[in-house]
Amino acid sequence: MAIAVIVTIACFILSALFTKLLIPTLHRIKFGQQVRDDGPQTHLKKQGTPTMGGIAFLAVIIIAAAIAAFFKPRILPVLFMTVGFGAIGFLDDYLKIVKKNTDGLSAKKKLILQFVFMAAFCVYMMVFDINKTFVHIPFTETSIELGWFYPVLAFFVILGTDNGVNFTDGLDGLCSSVTAVVAVFIAAASFIKSADISIYAMIVFGSLLGFLAFNSYPAKIFMGDTGALALGGFVSASFLMLGEPFLLLIVGFVYLAEILSSIIQVSYFKATHGKRIFKMAPIHHHFELCGWSETRIVTVFTSVSILLALIGFVAL
């Protein structure tokens, strides 16, 4: 426990320092956020705010995890997914900002790259992991062995989570706050289940808190796809390592709500030729247009995540 606290504090300090140093650098090279014209009008003031800030906390995660891996080698697959998906996000951000390609990395190329990392992770889980392909059914004592069906479930879990986390990154501090709560849950659940990834989750938690010092409202920096996709890789891989992919539907409900609201909005819009269910999707924008402030939305969504994490402990 003492080591976890020390690691968390160290990562917090390093992440805050790296982020503070990164902000003027991103300003200087004009790596600023491009705000969508069809988004909430209140977001226009965010135009030019430095993005790709995920580089800062991702760097801290890599440094700390590289040291921790000597003592806890089982964190390496989760680190692999974090860095791999972060690299995809970095490439997407780079094309959008430096190459002025508003679409960034094409959906096809992004999916191919994600597939490569997911395939490597599944091979590890099926061949080398001590828990193999067992998954636990929440609120029961039952675990089932999925065998060759495991990659199918893993792909849905990873892709769904990664997109959900990315959609959550739409307000100052929202993705950072929600994922910090999820990271604490992962750390505690790993300790309870002896899954050996607790230290990694605390590394992510401390790094996110340091970044959040500059990402909370009014944000001085955004994480970009670099950070959001990296966090999606971390969350999905961690729950798979825990053998708790179904529990992610509870603890990560905010991610689920964000992506489902977008899917429902688009589907309903097409089916009804222009009608909408939400004022705007993802759902945090709906609440914005209902008059909620950004800080209120972040507070409520984070509080909901804390409550769901407590339910998650009951379901373990």
Residues in a beta bridge with 144: 135
Q: What is the mean pLDDT of the chain?
A: 92
Whether residue 223 lies inside any domain: the answer is: yes
Question: Which tens digits make up the pLDDT trace of 213-242?
Answer: 999 999 999 999 999 999 999 999 999 999
Per-residue pLDDT, 264: 95
Q: Give me the residue label for tokens 């080398």.
A: 128
pLDDT above 60 (res 38): no
Please give the structure tokens belonging to residue 269: 């819009």
Residue 255 lies in a domain: yes
Q: Residue 140: inside a domain, yes or no?
A: no
pLDDT value of residue 286: 94
> What pLDDT, on the 0 to 100 scale, is given for residue 133?
86
**Residue 128 is assigned to a structural domain of this protein:** no
Asked if residue 131 belongs to a domain, the reply is no
Q: Tell me which residue range forms the domain holding 29.
A: 2-114+156-240+250-315
**Structural Rg of the chain based on CA atoms:** 19
What digits encode the pLDDT tens for the residues 51-98? 899 999 999 999 999 999 999 999 999 999 999 999 999 999 988 887
In a domain, 120, yes or no: no
Entry pTM: 0.95
pLDDT in tens, 267-306: 999 999 889 999 999 999 999 999 999 999 999 999 999 9
| Alpha-helical runs (H) found in the chain | 2-28, 54-68, 76-97, 107-127, 150-168, 174-193, 198-215, 224-242, 248-251, 253-271, 283-289, 294-315
Look at residue 133 and tell me if it is in a domain: no
Is residue 141 one of the residues assigned to a domain?
Answer: no
What's the number of domains the chain is made of? 1
